[in-house]
Amino acid sequence: MTEWYNNGNLGYMKEKEENNKMEKIISLCKRRGFIFQGSEIYGGLAGTWDYGPYGVTLKGNAKDSWWQRFVTNREDMYGMDAAILMNQNVWKATGHVGGFSDPLAECKKCKKRFRTDQLPDKKKCPECNGEMGEERQFNMLFKTHVGALEDENSVSYLRPETAQGMFVNYKNIIDSFHPKLPFGMAQIGKAFRNEIAPRDFTFRAREFEQMEIEYLVDPKDWKENFEHFRKEMLAWIKEIGIKTDGVYEHEISDEDRAFYSKRTIDFEFDFPFGRSELYGLAYRTDYDLSRHSASSGVDLVYLNEETKEKITPHCIEPSFGLDRTVLAILSSAYTEDELGGEKRVYLKFVPKIAPVKVAVFPLLKNKPQLVEKAREVYKTLKKEFGAVEFDDNGNIGKRYRRQDEIGTPFCITVDFDTLEKNEGVTVRDRDSGKQERVSEKDLIFYLKEKLV
């Protein structure tokens, strides 16, 4: 983040405030069971994160939304789940073995290592001001061996991207489904990169999850398909509750674009630590299919069965980082306000993304009749909505605050009027804090309208 360097004290205060917001989000994630440091009881492992009960549900909701929009609701998309371990020749063909690297330098004084392209002064250590050593290239592939013998023939790699698993299955899709161009392959899966300096919470990690599409087109039609996915990506960003006024399209210049790409747009987002890449949209031409065809000796051309024309399809690639998606959702949802004369923190999730849709309380936990009735309401709603939680821990005010921090859109309280006057239950709205009575017979319909 560079803005504060040019704006004097005002800019410094802004950066301090944003960094503080990041710290608050990280604290909330641990406190409420969203995200934990990997291997924490052993001191952790840098660049790894474990998703707790609410975090894994939030992540799952984002995945489900993506899959529904980009796969289930379309006629031209084929889902994939390719293996993480692949034949090493896959990565040799695409240039990953020889060229998938970042520039690295080590401080001569403190011996810490840094990516030189992220240093403001390549000659000075940002930690101790010591002199930086010579720059060298660091390959980010995680290397391993398959089978009992460890030799050059048994080498494999944890995949650094999900894309190649789809490209090498292109022929299988063609042979099994005989699709017409344009069509796409979509996959959600883990990828691994041995980052020199993982940073900014889940933003840059060594193990992460991707949601990617390889959309194959006739070369003459690439522009209209590129524009179609640009709009679809922006629509999905809005759908899952990422603040659109914090999203920017950055056209990558010819000098900075990958050599195989003819056009690339980065969708950047104002994270609390600064504006950084959220998603990417690239026109990869026929680079991948041509390389795999040449390297494997397998013909990967596409035959138009009507015109009998043979072409190597070109590829439009919308690429989404799932962990960055979750972080952008959390950053967008994190809200501080004042309610009832008290400061509060809540996560303003859109309902479809919220890990818990509804929480049900008895007004008092030491009144068996209230608890029994609240359990009855809870079971009914659980069958209907699934993501419903029963909560009787602490007083009613603490329960509201806890559910606010979880991001639960609605809290339902069973009180004495529910039992004695048959006046329904109290439904509290997360964002406004307002409460209203809703009859039991209308409750499901009421919530369906609100949650949808």
DSSP string across 310-325: EE--EEEEEEEEHHHH
Q: Phi/psi at 134 (nearest 5 deg)?
A: -70, 140
Instruction: State residue 17's pLDDT score.
Output: 60
For 430, other C-beta atoms within 10 Å of its C-beta total 23
Give yes or no for residue 13 having a pLDDT over 70: no
Q: What is the mean pLDDT of the chain?
A: 92
Give yes or no for residue 6 having a pLDDT over 60: no
Give yes or no for residue 12 having a pLDDT over 80: no
Instruction: State residue 57's pLDDT score.
Output: 98
Euclidean distance between the first and final Cα of the chain, in Å? 37
Closest CA to 208 of 226, 227, 190, 225: 190
The answer to whether the Cα torsion of 348, 353, 355, 357 is positive or negative is positive
Cβ atoms of residues 347 and 334 within 8 Å = yes
Cβ atoms of residues 60 and 140 within 8 Å = no
**Rounded Cα–Cα distance for residues 154 and 93 (Å):** 17
- What band does 22 get if pLDDT is binned at 50, 70 and 90? very high
DSSP secondary structure letters along 122-181: TTB-TTT-PBB---EEEE--EEEE-SS--SGGGEEEE-S-SHHHHHTTHHHHHHHH-PPS
Instruction: State residue 406's pLDDT score.
Output: 97
Please write the tens of the pLDDT for every residue from 128-144: 989 999 888 878 899 99
Tokens, residue 405: 């921090």
Quick one: average pLDDT of 305-324?
94
- What band does 15 get if pLDDT is binned at 50, 70 and 90? low
Cβ atoms of residues 29 and 55 within 8 Å = yes
**Rounded Cα–Cα distance for residues 168 and 406 (Å):** 41
The number of angstroms, rounded, from the C-alpha of 12 to the middle of its chain's C-alpha atoms is 29
Asked if the bond preceding 409 is cis, omega within 30° of 0, the reply is no
For 413, other C-beta atoms within 10 Å of its C-beta total 21
Please write the tens of the pLDDT for every residue from 196-226: 888 899 999 999 999 999 999 999 999 999 9
SS3 227: helix
Domains and CATH numbers, the chain: 32-87+159-330 (3.30.930.10), 356-451 (3.40.50.800)
Give yes or no for residue 16 having a pLDDT over 80: no
SS3 365: coil
